[in-house]
Structure 1
Amino acid sequence: MKVLFIGDVIGRPGRLFLKSLLSGIVHNRSIDFVIANGENAAGGFGITEKTANELFAMGVQVITTGNHVWDKKETVQYLFSENKILRPLNFPPDVPGFGSIVFNLKNGLKVGVINLIGRVFMNLSDCPFRAVIPEIEKIKKITNIIIVDMHAEATSEKQALSYYLDGKVSAVVGTHTHVQTSDEKILPYGTAYITDVGMVGPMVSVIGVQVEQIVRKFLNQIPQKYDVAKGSCFFCGVVIDIDNQTGKATGIERLLVNE
């Protein structure tokens, strides 16, 4: 099977550009399953029911998130019931939402998706390395096809997790930095990996935000409201080929499309 994993979707510009591309990519590349990180889909910070439904209507089947998942207050209640939007599994156990899902495709295949968050240079959460193993064991009773979104800042933490999970999951895909890396590979025991898949949003920006606002913050260190940049966008993602029976990855390809 072929899985398309889409980098962090940034605000309205990212949503609109994704809408213009997604059906064509799915058709031309015979994609079976689509995942997108949507934690910045609503105004560049957070996600709402409305923006999530936009992504679902485009053809995204599961949305992962990260540290910005709670930025819109209304999302807290929404995540009690919507299991196709994931928040990190290793958040405290009493928070609302779901850290994983087994998604049933129309062709009969089942795909597990797990959302994790890193701890290096980020707010502390439970250990992703320890939290993920029981979840993998639970999902393995249903399907061998498992995709992990590791939402983390440090490249070392993402790489370490990928080797820790090599052979246990189909892919470990990094998100959060919004900058696509060029280290896509298949690890020795059949797990696909990339340190960061990138983003979908404005090209002339600092990870999606207006350039002058970020530069000003670096110059004066005064907190301010950030706005999503305008102008032409680009799309980042990866296509992962997975053996239906074993769940091992057989290929991973980076996608980068400019508007």
Structure 2
Amino acid sequence: MKILFIGDVVGMRSCEALQQELHGIKQKLGADVVIVNGENSAEGNGINPASAGAIFDAGADVITTGNHCFRQKTMEAEWESNERIIRPANYGEDVIGRGMCVLDRGAYSIAVINLMGTTFMQPLENPFHCADRILEKCDARIKIVDFHAEATSEKRAMGFYLAGRVSAVLGTHTHVPTADEQVIDGTGYITDTGMTGPKNSILGVEKEIIIDRFLTYYPKRHRFAEGDIELNGVLMDIDQKTGKCSFIERYRQIITTA
């Protein structure tokens, strides 16, 4: 089976671009399941009901998130009710929301697990220990891990740590795709899948704002850039019977917007 994972969606314009193109992309690539990181899909970062709804309408089966997951207070009801929107599992069981979603496809099931790194980020539960705890109880044969982390070394370490135990470890958060996609002991891996956001930008933000900050060190409010959208992600081929990944490749498409 083929699984398409799409990197951090930046802003509502990117959600609309997904609505415009994702159904066609899914058909072209023959993707059976689509997982989307919606971490920055709302204006002002985070995710809200409107951006989540747009991503699902575009064709996503599961939405993962990251360190901005609780930025939008309007999401509280969604965290309670929608099992297909998940936040990092290492926030703990006493925190609103879920850290894993299991898709039941009859003959097989797919567990999507969301974890967040702790290097240069929030001091959550150790993600390696959290992964162990989840995998002890997870009997789904196919397991996809979105590891939302800052440090390349932490992501690489997680990839090797979970190699042979999950179907894929896919890094998110930095918005810049890396060129190290590989299969390690049946586990698809990439350090970062990149973003789905404005192409002519700095990590999705208007480039002038970021350049000025480097010149003056004076903080300014971030605004998402306009213009065409670049979609970044990975396509994987996973055996339904063994849960092993046999192939992973980067996918990138420029979506022209009005």
TM-score class, shorter-chain normalisation, is: over 0.9
Q: Say whether the 8 Å CA contact 1:77–1:96 is kept in structure 2.
A: no
- Taking the aligned partners of 2:16 and 2:50, their CA distance within structure 1 comes to 14
Task: Confirm or deny that 1:195 pairs with 2:191.
Answer: yes
Residue type at the aligned position of 2:137 = K
Runs of 4+ aligned structure 1 residues displaced above 3 Å come to none
> Please, which runs of 5 or more residues in structure 2 have no aligned partner?
none
State which drifts further: 215-224 or 228-237: 215-224
Partner residue of 2:170 out of 166, 173, 177: 173
Residue deviations 1:61-80 (CA, integer Å, cap 9, x gap): 10000001111111234212
- Taking the aligned partners of 1:53 and 1:194, their CA distance within structure 2 comes to 27
Q: What SS does the corresponding residue of 1:52 show, helix, strand or coil? A: helix
Partner residue of 1:233 out of 229, 233, 241: 229
> Please, which runs of 5 or more residues in structure 1 have no aligned partner?
none
**Identical-pair percentage:** 45
Q: How many residues align?
A: 255
Aligned to 1:164: 161
Residue type at the aligned position of 2:161 = Y
Shift, 1:214, TM fit? 1.2
- Taking the aligned partners of 1:108 and 1:52, their CA distance within structure 2 comes to 28
- Taking the aligned partners of 2:237 and 2:44, their CA distance within structure 1 comes to 30
Residue deviations 1:20-61 (CA, integer Å, cap 9, x gap): 221111111211111000011111501111211111111101
Aligned to 2:8: 8
Report matched runs for 1:54-133 at 5 Å: 54-105=54-105, 108-133=107-132
Residue deviations 1:183-212 (CA, integer Å, cap 9, x gap): 00001x210000000111111111000111
When normalised by structure 1's length, the TM-score is 0.95
Residue deviations 1:198-246 (CA, integer Å, cap 9, x gap): 1111111110001111122223333332111001111101011101011
Q: Say whether the 8 Å CA contact 2:16–2:54 is kept in structure 1.
A: no
Shift, 1:93, TM fit? 3.1
Residue type at the aligned position of 2:251 = L
Q: What SS does the corresponding residue of 2:103 show, helix, strand or coil? A: strand
Residue type at the aligned position of 1:182 = A
Q: What SS does the corresponding residue of 2:3 show, helix, strand or coil? A: strand
- Taking the aligned partners of 1:219 and 1:82, their CA distance within structure 2 comes to 43
- Taking the aligned partners of 2:110 and 2:213, their CA distance within structure 1 comes to 42
Residue type at the aligned position of 1:241 = D
Q: Say whether the 8 Å CA contact 2:117–2:149 is kept in structure 1.
A: yes
What is the Cα-based RMSD across aligned positions, in Å? 1.2
Residue type at the aligned position of 1:133 = D
- Taking the aligned partners of 1:99 and 1:224, their CA distance within structure 2 comes to 33
When normalised by structure 2's length, the TM-score is 0.95
